[in-house]
Structure 1
Amino acid sequence: MADLKTFSIPYHSHLSERIEPGQTLIVKGQTFEDSKRFSINFQKDGVSNSVDIPLHLSIRFDENKVVLNSLSKGEWGKEERKKVPFKKGEPFDIRIRAHDNKFVIFCDRKEFEEFEYRLPLTHITHMSIDGDIALSNVHWGGKYYAIPYESDIAGNGLAPGKTLIIYATPEKKAKRFSVNLLKRNGDVALHFNSRFDEKAVIRNSQQAGDWGNEEREGKIPFEKSVGFDLAIKNEPYAYQIFVNGERFCTFAHRCDPHDITKMQIDGDLEVAGIQII
């Protein structure tokens, strides 16, 4: 389920829409045994070295430090430094979520640091990634989602061949959270219920008000306060469910897989993004 697409380094992108609070940048890749540094920059009006940089995130293996800073009118601000949370030669996952007054940075899906804005969020028009890495995934999106969350699935719904991806983090004291895929008539084609209080993930369906047989094989793949990517792929005979790119389980269809028109998310979690591909 991992995205196999690769990106050239340095990577530059012009943001087609202004960044809004609640949105998240996800950057995934691989470091090398001899990696020294790599960086992520949010920039204003271009990607040259002379533009303002509201956020400079520099991972420096040669100093064993992560440096956070900003550049305004040619002047660097005060550096903020923390120990590098990654190891050379291994994959990395960095997420930067924008809020009203700060960025919150996650490293390998765990909250790492906050960086208060020194320049307005509206200044950011470009983004760049550079350094000693192989870059495999760049995704920008999301918003604030009120939980419980319910939404229609546009077009022909979650038809076979489509995948629903949810980026979220269970709360620190989470007990349960669930994802439901609904048919047009309200039947639950898939009920995916992670229960920390039972150390199990329940899969089931409900038709005409009656629940079917529960499936709960497999160790719970979620951790409290640690982010996850949940991907539910609708295939002709079953849902294939992946957590953080690893196959977790298969749930055979108990109803027409072409009639999935709505999703529901509920429970003790914060949702950062929802994507259908």
Structure 2
Amino acid sequence: MPVETLSCVRCVKMDYDVQEGTISRDFIEYDFAEDALDFETQLAEARDVKFTQTLSEHLSIGAHIVCTGTPSDDLPWFAVNIGTGDPDGRGDIAVHFNVRLPQCYVVRNTRRHDKWGIEETTAFRLFPFKMDRPFTIEVLIEEKETLWAVDGEHYCSYSHRNPSPFAATWVQVAGVRNATLKVDKIAEYPALAAPPVEVPFRQSVDAAPELSEKNSWRPNVIASLSNGVPEGQQIIIHGRLRPLLHSFAIDLMDYGREWPYPNVHVHVNVRAHVDSQKDRQLVVLNAWLGAWGPERRQRTARLVPGDKCTFRIIRGGDEWSVYANDVLIGELEYRAAPAGVKAIRVRGDFYPDDIFLCPASNSPIREEKTA
């Protein structure tokens, strides 16, 4: 029987940033090892198709680079480079963002003294680029990393190496004929993101959604909680687990944004990749208030990859209680004023299809109905 598609699993380095890609039949027999070795040869074909902007001053924290363009069939790879030295020769590249459309993934790397480092390919969302479809890439320079967004949605991050982008003297786009570049400063990233959707309130956990509710839930979503999570209420997240489950996180934050980094009052991180042969997944609870605090770790989640799942985070008198499918999987004491929670973020291998607030019952376990 012929195979139409092949799902690939990327190498993973972060806790909850793995996404699946789909490769067409034409590339099932593609030699990825050879691809990784000679990508410079293929990129050389695009060196005559490039746009370079010299920087009048060094990049600093908050520097914002916007690149637009449209990939074409005859140039299946393109790159955004931030570097020093000769941009037309073998100058150093602090950040190399290489989009490989035939293989449906993006490589990040650094070149120093004509040698490439270790490639990074993990991402927070599915591959967003398509032939002949315009794109907008945003690059945010942060203290320790660069953040990359595509069409207003955060895509990946890349930690600074040597050389650092703070020493860069130019920015370049190669392999895109209609490329544009703009460099400025911003106060919030992604600058082109749509306003976060508001989490609705319902009278009970079983109440039907109002007609006015807009179903905008998608993977790696950030949503607003304008009135917070009042004491005695709970936030419900229905969704589906990724079949190849690695990890995911649910964060209750004080701001609905990616950067400047919000404080995270409750960080619920489920890690299926740690001792994956065990029948329960590891649950890590923590808070980020300018820095991570002490973790609370327990192997309490019993989740089935690919299945539907419901999480509840209940605000109690002194702590946050977290349930998965009506089973308590952890509690985290207040580490900041709970009234400060104003947003929720779901990131990783848990894909939400409904999020709402409602009153918390005395017990999250429903009683069986009798005839």
Q: What TM-score comes out, normalization by structure 1 length?
A: 0.50
Describe the shift of the 1:174–1:104 C-alpha distance in structure 2 as closer, same or farther (beyond 3 A): farther
- 1:253-275 Cα shifts (integer Å, max 9, x gaps): xxxxxxxxxxxxxx966799xxx
Match of 1:58 among 81, 98, 102: 98
* Residue matched to 2:60: 20
Q: Does 1:40 align with 2:80?
A: yes
Q: Distance in 1 between matches of 2:142 and 2:85?
A: 21
Correspondent of 1:10 among 44, 50, 53: 50
- Aligned residue for 1:50, secondary structure, equals coil
Q: What is the aligned counterpart of 1:129 among 156, 160, 173?
A: 173
Q: 1:28 to 1:169 in 2, by over 3 A?
A: same
Of structures 1 and 2, the larger Rg is shown by 2
| CA distance in structure 2 between the partners assigned to 1:270 and 1:113 by the alignment | 11
CA distance in 2, matches of 1:80, 1:126: 22
Aligned-pair CA distance for 1:67: 0.7
Q: How far does residue 62 in structure 1 lie from its aligned partner after superposition?
A: 2.7
Kept in 1: contact 2:83–2:165 (CA 8 A): no
Matched, 1:118 2:158: no
Q: Which residue of 2 aligns with 1:248?
A: none
Letter of the 2:166 partner, please give it.
Answer: T
Cα displacement string for residues 230-265 of structure 1 (whole angstroms, at most 9, x for unaligned residues): xxxxxxxxxxxxxxxxxxxxxxxxxxxxxxxxxxxx
The one-letter code of the counterpart of 1:21 is I
The offset of 1:168, in angstroms, is 4.8
Name the structure 2 match of 1:261.
Answer: none
Q: Deviations over 1:42-96 (max 9, x none)?
A: 1112303421111011111132221100011221100012463211111111111
Q: CA deviation at 1:143?
A: 3.4
Rounded Cα–Cα distance in structure 1 between residues aligned with 2:49 and 2:93:
19
Structure 2: distance between partners of 1:52 and 1:136:
22
CA contact (8 A) 1:22 1:142 kept: yes
Extract structure 1 runs of 4+ deviating beyond 4 A.
170-175, 267-272
2-side partners of 1:89 and 1:35: how far apart?
Answer: 11
Give the one of 112, 116, 130 matched to 1:72.
Answer: 112
Matching of residue 92 in structure 1 with residue 128 in structure 2: no
Match in the other structure for 1:144: 187
The equivalent residue for 2:35 is none
Gaps of 5+ in 1: 1-7, 146-165, 176-197, 201-219, 227-266, 273-277
More helix by share: 2
Q: Structure 2: how far apart are the matches of 1:31 and 1:59?
A: 10
Deviation at 1:144, TM superposition (A): 3.1
Whole-angstrom CA distance in 1 between matches of 2:61 and 2:110? 19
5 Å-filtered alignment, 1:100-111, equals 100-111=143-154
Pairwise CA RMSD of aligned residues? 3.5
Identity value in percent? 19
The structure whose residues are more often strand, as a share, is: 1
What secondary structure, in the 3-state scheme, does the structure 2 residue paired with 1:134 have?
Answer: coil
| SS class of match (2:166) | helix
**Aligned partner of residue 89 in structure 1, secondary structure:** coil
Give the aligned residue type for 2:79: S
**Matched residue type, 2:76:** K
Q: Distance in 1 between matches of 2:82 and 2:75?
A: 22
Asked if 2 retains the 8 angstrom alpha-carbon contact of 1:169 and 1:270, the reply is no
Using a 3 Å threshold, how does the CA distance of structure 1 residues 134 and 51 change in structure 2: closer, same or farther? closer
Separation in 2, partners of 1:126, 1:75:
19
Between the two proteins, the alignment pairs up a number of residues equal to: 163
